[in-house]
Amino acid sequence: MSRLFGTDGVRGLANRSLTAPLALRLGAAAARVLTATSPSSQRRPVAVIGRDPRVSGEMLVAALSAGMASQGVDVLNVGVLPTPAVAFLTDDYGADMGVMISASHNPMPDNGIKFFAAGGHKLDDTVEDEIEAAMLELPESGPTGAGIGRIIEESGDGLERYLFHLASSVPAPLDGIRVVVDCANGAASDAAPQAYAQAGADVVAIHDHPNSYNINDECGSTHIDIVRQAVLDNHADLGLAHDGDADRCLAVDSEGNVIDGDQIMAILAIAMKEAGELRKNTLVATVMSNLGLTLAMKEQGITLRRTKVGDRYVLADLNAHDLSLGGEQSGHVVIPAHGTTGDGTLTGLSLMARMAETGRTLRELASVMTVLPQTLVNVPVEDKEKVHTSTVVADALAEVEAELGETGRVLLRPSGTEQVYRVMVEAPTSAEARKIAGRLAAVVISEG
């Protein structure tokens, strides 16, 4: 049987592969695993559950809540909030576990389930495997009478707590900065504009009217051209684009140039180093981050560590080595001093605070890093393991790496979700990157 959990929780087409019966069993199993060592014997375990605005979230919240309550867990439903808000509230309320219902940047028909352990921390693979095993071993019945958990609708205090937390994390007032924020008709629609305005920014919010069906629909971080045009039309200092659950943030400068997650991390790493907050002068990114980030950090005396793709692997590395900043090219940025997961709104606040502190434009700040041309080719293969172990592919890779030296980078890796092998090449020019990627793709085809 294939693994239920993917790179970021459980995802699928809602009511098809991700059904209410599945969610009920998943909620029950997660409750048994995540509350097995509940620190308090004086009360029932507590779970915090939130969602993004997509229509299937209501169904899945009901099913998951029923599953958790059936195992004696009290469930606090905090409603529509960003993923990082649910993680924060899991810790802030002293809950034993948290659940976020969202498919992030995916289209509206999809949905997903992300779990947090006590403290608001994402789960590692071993705990996810325990939950999957527990789904197969659920008893026919659970506690009865007063032993059944309660399901409580939270009054709205969660958003206020989260906004207060964000306000306490901003190192400088944002007075005089005009920002366009694309909320993707998602979970950021209330939280992000309020957070930016409370910090002093002049906010122009777009796609901030979710109706359960329009999340990520031609808007947000996957449609950056829209916020780019809005920045130009509104003569703004910058634009920020969130995804459906607001755990990521991409930016646009005042001239319409896209500032991706790598550039954002470069800006924040330098700021934190200057403030003495960048532990061990080290930044954590994934293998997909541009070589330009490595070169920029080297020039600034900052070490770059790389992990597998997925913000939870970045988080694991940050925690394992007691580091203070990491993230992904896609715009997930993690600042452990202020959150246990990627937080797009916190990222936006931190970026604007750097502009306010220095008096420099976003374009000037981003100029510290030169993005090398990158080509990514997804090669359909029948046997990913055969490609992975092929000496012919390994020899071709070694030959290309020798050609590029320190001027470029090559990454070959199997997709975790598709029957393809990814060929990524960075080189001094786009033409060279495309040429080399084509060569390697041909070798992968011949071996796959």
Coil, helix or strand at residue 44: coil
Nearest Cα to Cα of residue 288 among 104, 423, 124: 423
| Residue 126 pLDDT class (50, 70, 90 cuts) | very high
Write down the pLDDT at residue 310. 83
Q: What is the mean pLDDT of the chain?
A: 94
Reading the block at residue 69, the tokens are 């309550």
Catalytic residue among 104, 221, 330, 390: 104
Going by their DSSP bridges, the two strands 151-153 and 97-101 should be labelled as: unpaired
Q: Is 213 a residue whose pLDDT tops 90?
A: yes
Write down the pLDDT at residue 56. 98
Q: Is 245 annotated as a binding residue?
A: yes
CA distances from 190 to 224, 287, 333 (A): 20, 33, 20
Write down the pLDDT at residue 448. 78
Write down the pLDDT at residue 377. 94
Query: What number of H helices and E strands is found in the chain?
Result: 15, 19
Write down the pLDDT at residue 36. 87
The answer to whether domain 10-155 and domain 374-447 are alike in fold is no
Q: Is 104 annotated as a binding residue?
A: yes
| Residue 38 pLDDT class (50, 70, 90 cuts) | low
Q: Is 39 a residue whose pLDDT tops 70?
A: no
Percent of the chain with pLDDT over 70: 98
Beta-carbon neighbour count of residue 160 at 10 Å?
Answer: 11
Q: Is 283 a residue whose pLDDT tops 70?
A: yes
Nearest Cα to Cα of residue 247 among 125, 348, 107, 354: 348
Write down the pLDDT at residue 418. 75
Residues 6+ apart with CB under 8 A from 9: 100, 112, 113, 114, 115
CATH 3.40.120.10 given to domain 169-366: yes
Residues 6+ apart with CB under 8 A from 115: 9, 30, 34, 97, 98, 99, 122, 123, 128, 131
Write down the pLDDT at residue 43. 82
| Torsional sign, CA 362, 366, 372, 374 | negative
Please give the CATH superfamily to which domain 374-447 belongs: Alpha-D-phosphohexomutase, C-terminal domain (3.30.310.50)
Write down the pLDDT at residue 171. 81
Write down the pLDDT at residue 108. 97
Indicate the pTM of the whole model. Answer: 0.92
**Alpha-helix residue ranges (DSSP H) falling in 136-223:** 157-167, 188-198
Q: Is 119 a residue whose pLDDT tops 80?
A: yes
Q: Is 247 annotated as a binding residue?
A: yes
| Residue 136 pLDDT class (50, 70, 90 cuts) | very high
| Torsional sign, CA 297, 298, 299, 300 | positive
- Which of 3.40.50.20, 3.20.20.140, 3.40.120.10, 2.40.37.10 is the CATH number of 10-155? 3.40.120.10
Write down the pLDDT at residue 311. 85
Spatial contact of 371 and 113, defined as CB atoms under 8 Å apart: no
Beta bridge partners of 117: 97, 121
What value does the mean pLDDT take over residues 183-195?
98
Write down the pLDDT at residue 98. 98
| Residue 417 pLDDT class (50, 70, 90 cuts) | low
What value does the mean pLDDT take over residues 336-355?
96
Beta-carbon neighbour count of residue 2 at 10 Å?
Answer: 4
CA distances from 203 to 58, 166, 223, 255, 328 (A): 30, 16, 19, 18, 26
Residues 6+ apart with CB under 8 A from 364: none
What value does the mean pLDDT take over residues 205-216?
98
Q: What is the DSSP letter of 239?
A: E
Q: Which amino acid is at 187?
A: A
Write down the pLDDT at residue 180. 98
Q: Is 40 a residue whose pLDDT tops 60?
A: no
pLDDT tens for 72-100 read 999 999 999 999 999 999 999 999 999 99
Where is average pLDDT lowest: 38-52, 92-106, 140-154?
38-52
Beta-carbon neighbour count of residue 338 at 10 Å?
Answer: 18
Write down the pLDDT at residue 227. 97
Tell me whether residue 430 is one of the annotated catalytic residues: no
Coil, helix or strand at residue 18: strand
Write down the pLDDT at residue 41. 58
Q: What is the DSSP letter of 370?
A: P
Domain residue ranges in the chain:
10-155, 169-366, 374-447
Question: Using CA atoms, how far apart are residues 199 and 361, in angstroms rounded to an integer?
Answer: 18
Coil, helix or strand at residue 410: strand
